[in-house]
Amino acid sequence: MDILTSLNISGSGLKAERARLNVAAMNIANVDTTRTIEGGPYKAKSVVFSAQPVESFQESLDAASARLRKVEVVEVVEDDKPFKEVYDPSHPDANEEGIVQYPNVDIPEQMVDLISARRGYEANVAAIEAAKSMAMKALDISR
């Protein structure tokens, strides 16, 4: 595997983890949103990843690189968990029984997702730094 392929793989990981961070932050920001444009409370979202083959002409010729994969965000899906129901007849979004539906966002779950995404992001940055260091050492050897 060459340096550009390793940077491509780590870069795809950075992009995917950034999407995961953004979705978790959006979920946390909307934890109390009871009315959306679509109507009803906000629905928690999550990111779906997929492994995609790394494509370049050299890798297509190399059988060993057929196992190399990068990560891509396939889609952002809405959570099917039921909404939280709270009795608050004074709330403007309360139904005739006084029940307000709040988003199905689970804050501890979102915090774990944020921390996990941050760690994945840090790991990909470390891989890029290692590849950069190896390239610099290779240049030093050639002098």
pLDDT digits (tens, 9 = 90+) for 40-95: 899 999 999 988 887 665 655 665 556 778 888 999 999 999 999 999 999 999 99
pLDDT value of position 53: 80
Instruction: State residue 140's pLDDT score.
Output: 87
Q: How high is the pLDDT of residue 64?
A: 55
pTM of the model: 0.81
Helical packing angle, 3-29 and 107-141, nearest 10°: 160
Residues written for the chain: 143
Is residue 34 a contact partner of residue 101, using CB atoms and an 8 Å limit?
yes
DSSP string, 39-107: SSS---EEEEEEEEE---HHHHH-SGGGG-EEEEEEEEEE--SPPEEEE-TTSTT--TTSEEEE----H
Nearest partner of 41 among 89, 84, 91, 90, judged by Cα = 84
